[in-house]
Amino acid sequence: MDLPVTPPVKPMLAKSVSKIPPGMQYEAKWDGFRAVIHRDGAEIEIGSRSGKSLTRYFPELVEALTANLPDRCVVDGEIVVIHGGRLDFDRLSERIHPATSRVKLLAETTPASFVAFDLLALGDESLLDTPLTDRRAALTRMLSTARPPVHLAPATTDPALAQEWFERFEGAGLDGVVAKPLDLPYRPDARLMFKIKHERTADAVIAGFRFHKSGPIVGSLLLGLYDAQGTLQHVGVCAAFPMKRRAELIDELEPLRMPDPQGHPWAAWAEGAAHESARLPGAQSRWTGKKDLSWVPLRPEWVCEVAYDHMEGDRFRHTAQFRRMRPDRAPGSCTYAQLEEVVGYDLAAVLGPTG
């Protein structure tokens, strides 16, 4: 490719803040695969956040981007899958598959969309040093006639509208708001933007742990919630502890360790078929590969409070944040019923008709 900004490019990133800052451009925070698109004539390259190519996994997007982008450009955005009027990250994750035949089938049955929100180059001109307001204006003009599945991300400079988006768009599967300084140049791999994400708390059962990669200290706690049938379902992990606290947790959890997993609610975790009927820790996937997913079972008698941003189906979408132990809570009281139910919102109201 002969472009003023050549692949691979790691996208510009955002740091977390608790409130929407004033005086910026605001966009919804998309829950998908970040992607930088390079187009040079007939060549399309879809680069991931890490710089690796995603092109082969999304042949339908290659066709759509060719039809909707100018001959020479570099665009930053998000690959998403829209299902039932909202974003569906699980279906998006399934798109990363090694088999060409499977990739072709999923492109037809679970087609992806691309939401553009920044412009890094156009024609022979690099826009990396151009202020955000000018890049946005150029991107808006460039995509004025774009059609689904290529979309221009909505943006505003009105903080009140951004707050409304933050409160309403979650029901369509979006997970917050991104704020960008108006004069911001584009700086790959630098955290110069701001993200405001939802945070809620839940009381969860501690049912196991994994060792830290550095040695015999706690790496992460395995969390569970009871469903309506009284089954303890694995919902995720919390893992952000100082090293000293990781060592302390080993001693604190020792009385709960089970030398034999028989009798533990997740005792069947190593059996592949068991994952088809229950949410258990340790399922192998194309993401984990040969990574050691073994864990230490604990009697499910302790409860902790964790913070989470949102749910993906019946699990925490991201790693939860440990807040405190809850010795006052009974494990059986830790059910899905405590979780806040997000009001649904049709993604078409965010992007317009999705085709």
For the chain, what is the mean pLDDT? 89
Farthest-apart Cα atoms in the chain, separation: 66
pLDDT digits (tens, 9 = 90+) for 323-354: 989 988 899 999 998 886 666 778 888 887 65
Q: Which helix (H) or strand (E) holds 237?
A: strand 232-238
Distance CA 297, CA 184 (A): 49
The predicted pLDDT at position 289 comes to 44
| Residue of 15, 29, 213, 290 with catalytic role | 29
pLDDT attached to residue 171: 83
- What's the confidence (pLDDT) of residue 275? 41
Query: What pLDDT band is residue 279 in, cutting at 50, 70 and 90?
Result: low
Q: Where are the beta strands (DSSP E) in 98-159?
A: 112-122, 125-126, 150-152, 155-156
In the structure, what pLDDT confidence band is assigned to residue 34 with cuts at 50, 70 and 90? very high
144 Cβ contact list (under 8 Å, min separation 6): none
Active site residue 15: no
Mean pLDDT of 197-222: 91
Of the ranges 96-110, 253-267, 288-302, which is most confident? 96-110
The pLDDT tens digits of the residues spanning 39-80 come to 999 999 999 988 899 999 999 999 999 999 999 999 999 999
DSSP conformation class of 53: B
Q: Supply the DSSP string of 295-353, one letter for each residue.
A: -EEEEEEEEEEEEES-EETTEESS-BEEEEE-TTS-GGG-BGGGSPPPPP--THHHHS-
CB 185 within 8 A of CB 289: no
**Where does the pLDDT of residue 13 fall: very low under 50, low under 70, confident under 90, or very high at 90 and above?**
very high
Task: Give yes or no for residue 288 having a pLDDT over 80.
Answer: no
pLDDT at res. 293:
59
Which helix (H) or strand (E) segment holds residue 65: the answer is helix 59-68
Q: Looking at per-residue confidence, does 288 or 81 come out higher?
A: 81
Confidence band (pLDDT; 50, 70, 90) for 282? low
DSSP label at residue 5? S
